[in-house]
Amino acid sequence: MAAPKFVEIKQHLIANIERGVWREHAKVPSENALAGEFGCSRMTARRALTELVEQGVLVRSQGQGTFVASLKSQGSMLNIRNIADEVRGRGHDYQVQVLEQLRLPADASVAIALGVAVGAEVGQTRLLHSEDGRPVQLELRFVNLALVPDYLEQDFYRQTPHEYLSQVAPLTEAHHEVEAVVVDAKTASLLEIDQGEPCLRIHRRTWSRSGTVSFARLTHPGSRYRLGGHLVMD
């Protein structure tokens, strides 16, 4: 079965970016040009461009056209997206390494973040997410096992913690805090960066209808990641 035209156009654009036909900040063909080339409607071509803009592969400039985005990875502060989907959405290979998956008593800071008593049993996972073999995120996550008792039984090589939690405890609310940090030697080694290179760290708490589900600390190499978002106001 043939792929839909908008998918075909997306694959064509990504392939040309990967091959260096269109380099960083290069202008890509317009909706009209793509519609003519692929024998489809302008709306179909627009959908392909729009999805690549949302995925951080392209960027639009009002009145100027659509351009190849900076080669740094992009994440959105407006949407909580699965890191695996972000990477694959850019047409790249996603890999993960599960570093820790254990049960432990909550210390004061974790207890406050999860809204549990100090000493309550929580789940902790530490995962290293990579894009085309290069680390882009070190994820440290604490989970309220009273709400998600089977969390530590999951195979996080098959699905990310975000994917699993979205299935069993659908998100109703989230809170982010972002800071620039210089990480310790162990973290720098895991992220394959020089010690002293700045990183972006996102602190994220998520809630379901039953209460606080998780608290995550997501650390990204500053040279490989940026945060962005686009708001349309009424």
Summarised one tens digit per residue, pLDDT across range 12-54 is: 998 888 677 888 788 999 999 999 999 999 999 999 998 888 7
In eight-state DSSP terms, residue 194 is -
* φ, ψ at 161 (rounded to 5°): -55, -40
Q: How many residues does the chain have?
A: 234
Rounded-to-integer distance, Cα 135 and Cα 14, Å: 21
In a domain, 234, yes or no: no
- Tell whether 233 is covered by a domain: no
Residues 38 and 95 in one domain: no
Q: How confident is the model at residue 232 (pLDDT cuts 50, 70, 90)?
A: very low
Percent of the chain topping pLDDT 70: 89
Assess whether pLDDT exceeds 70 at residue 229: no
* Distance of alpha carbon 158 from alpha carbon 171, whole angstroms: 21
Residue reference for tokens 């994917």: 163
194 versus 78: the higher-pLDDT residue is 194
Q: What is the CATH number of the domain that holds 39?
A: 1.10.10.10
Residue at 207 is within a domain: yes
Give the confidence band of 175 by pLDDT, cuts at 50, 70, 90.
confident
Domain membership of residue 211 (yes or no) is yes
Q: Which amino acid, residue 16?
A: N
The H-or-E segment that residue 208 falls in is: strand 198-208
Residue with tokens 């040009």: 33
> Does residue 132 register a pLDDT over 60?
yes
Classify residue 188 by its DSSP letter: H
pTM over 0.85: no
